[in-house]
C-alpha cells in the first residue's frame, strides 16, 4: 500500500474523541480514518498515569500492526499528558499529534482576563498541564475545575438503558462544577471564556450554554489538532491527494473495546455514520 494511502489512527478513552475526528474530517476530506474508543477502560481521567500509558502503548501497537496507520492522533487530554513523549520516543517515524486544553487561544479571546478550565482529574493533576499553565502565567487569571464523573456520564448518555439517568446526571454535574468555579459573564472579574479541557465536553456545549448564557465563549481543541495533523502530513509527504472510490462512510472505521451500541449511537448522532461503520475491537487490544 502506498504510504499516503494508509489511514490516520485516532483514539480516545471513549466517544469524546469523535469531536476531534469530526474536525479532522472537515480539514482532511480525502483521508481515511481508523478510530478506536477504549470504552472498556474508560474513563482515563480517573486512572493512574501508569495505567493510561500502558493502554496508550497497547492501542498504538494495535493500530500500527492491524491498520498500518501513517499518523496517530491521541484525541484524549489525559493520554496526551501521560504518554505523548514516550510515544514519540518509541515511534520516531510516526507523526503523532496530541491534544491539550486550549489555554493560549482562550487568552486571545478573553476580554475580562478571567478564564475557566474544565478538565478531568488526570489532566488537571498532570505535569504537562502544570507546564501549560506556567506558559501563560500573568496573561490571564485561570480558575481550574477537575470534573470527576462527567466524561463517564457523557459516555453513558449514548446507551439507551442509561440515557435518561445519564442526561440528568450531566446537568447536575455541570451545574455543580460551574457553580464551584464562580461567576461567569462579561463583567469585570467574571469568567467570559471557558476552556473545555476534555474532548467529551464538546458534546455538552448546549447544556453549558443554557447554564452560563450566550456571552461566555466555549473553547475546544479539535480545529487546532486538525490543522497540526495536516501540517505534519504535508511535511512528511503523506497527505492523500484523492479520497479513492469509497464513500465518506466507508473511509472511516470505528472500533470499541466496550459496548458497541454506545459507539453506534454516538457515531450516528454526532457524525451521521450508520451502525455498520462501528465494530468491536479484537479482545487482545
Closest CA to 174 of 141, 125, 209, 216: 209
**52 backbone dihedrals φ, ψ, rounded to 5°:** -70, -40
The alpha carbon of residue 263 and the mean position of all alpha carbons in its chain are separated, in whole angstroms, by: 15
**Are 44 and 52 spatial neighbours (Cβ–Cβ below 8 Å)?**
yes
CA–CA separation, 116 vs 102, rounded Å?
11
**Helix or strand (DSSP H, E) at 189:** none
**Are 221 and 99 spatial neighbours (Cβ–Cβ below 8 Å)?**
yes
CA–CA separation, 28 vs 159, rounded Å?
30
**97 backbone dihedrals φ, ψ, rounded to 5°:** -120, 130
- The catalytic residue among 8, 34, 36, 76 is 76
| Grid cell at residue 269 | 448522532
In 3-state terms, what secondary structure has residue 198? coil
- Reply yes or no: is the peptide bond before residue 43 cis, omega within 30 of 0: yes
CA–CA separation, 141 vs 30, rounded Å?
41
- The catalytic residue among 36, 82, 140, 198 is 198
For residue 250, CA distances in Å to 73, 97, 112 come to: 20, 24, 46
Q: 278 catalytic, yes or no?
A: no
Q: 76 catalytic, yes or no?
A: yes
**240 backbone dihedrals φ, ψ, rounded to 5°:** -75, 130
Catalytic residue set: 76, 198
Amino acid at each position: 500500500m502506498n504510504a499516503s494511502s494508509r489511514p490516520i489512527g485516532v483514539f480516545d478513552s471513549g466517544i469524546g474523541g469523535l469531536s476531534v475526528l469530526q474536525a479532522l474530517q472537515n480539514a482532511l476530506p480525502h483521508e481515511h480514518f481508523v478510530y478506536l474508543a477504549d470504552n472498556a477502560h474508560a474513563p482515563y481521567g480517573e486512572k493512574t498515569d501508569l495505567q493510561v500509558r500502558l493502554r496508550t502503548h497497547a492501542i498504538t501497537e494495535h493500530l500500527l500492526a492491524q491498520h498500518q496507520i501513517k499518523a496517530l492522533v491521541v484525541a484524549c487530554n489525559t493520554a496526551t499528558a501521560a504518554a505523548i513523549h514516550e510515544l514519540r520516543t518509541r515511534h520516531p517515524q510516526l507523526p503523532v499529534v496530541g491534544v491539550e486544553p486550549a489555554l493560549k487561544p482562550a487568552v486571545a479571546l478573553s476580554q475580562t482576563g478571567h478564564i475557566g478550565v474544565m478538565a478531568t482529574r488526570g489532566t488537571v493533576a498532570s505535569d504537562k498541564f502544570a507546564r501549560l499553565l506556567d506558559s501563560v502565567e500573568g496573561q490571564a487569571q485561570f480558575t481550574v475545575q477537575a470534573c470527576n464523573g462527567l466524561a463517564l456520564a457523557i459516555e453513558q448518555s449514548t446507551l439507551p438503558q442509561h440515557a435518561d439517568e445519564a442526561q440528568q446526571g450531566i446537568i447536575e454535574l455541570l451545574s455543580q462544577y460551574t457553580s464551584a468555579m464562580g461567576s461567569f459573564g462579561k463583567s469585570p472579574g467574571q469568567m467570559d471564556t471557558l476552556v473545555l479541557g476534555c474532548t467529551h465536553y464538546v458534546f455538552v456545549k448546549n447544556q453549558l450554554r443554557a447554564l452560563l448564557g450566550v456571552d461566555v465563549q466555549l473553547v475546544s481543541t479539535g480545529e487546532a489538532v486538525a490543522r497540526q495533523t495536516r501540517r505534519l502530513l504535508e511535511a512528511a509527504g503523506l497527505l492523500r491527494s484523492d479520497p479513492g472510490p469509497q464513500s465518506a462512510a466507508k473511509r472511516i472505521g470505528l472500533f470499541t473495546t466496550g459496548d458497541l451500541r454506545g459507539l453506534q449511537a454516538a457515531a450516528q448522532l454526532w457524525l451521521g455514520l450508520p451502525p455498520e461503520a462501528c465494530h468491536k475491537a479484537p479482545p487482545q487490544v
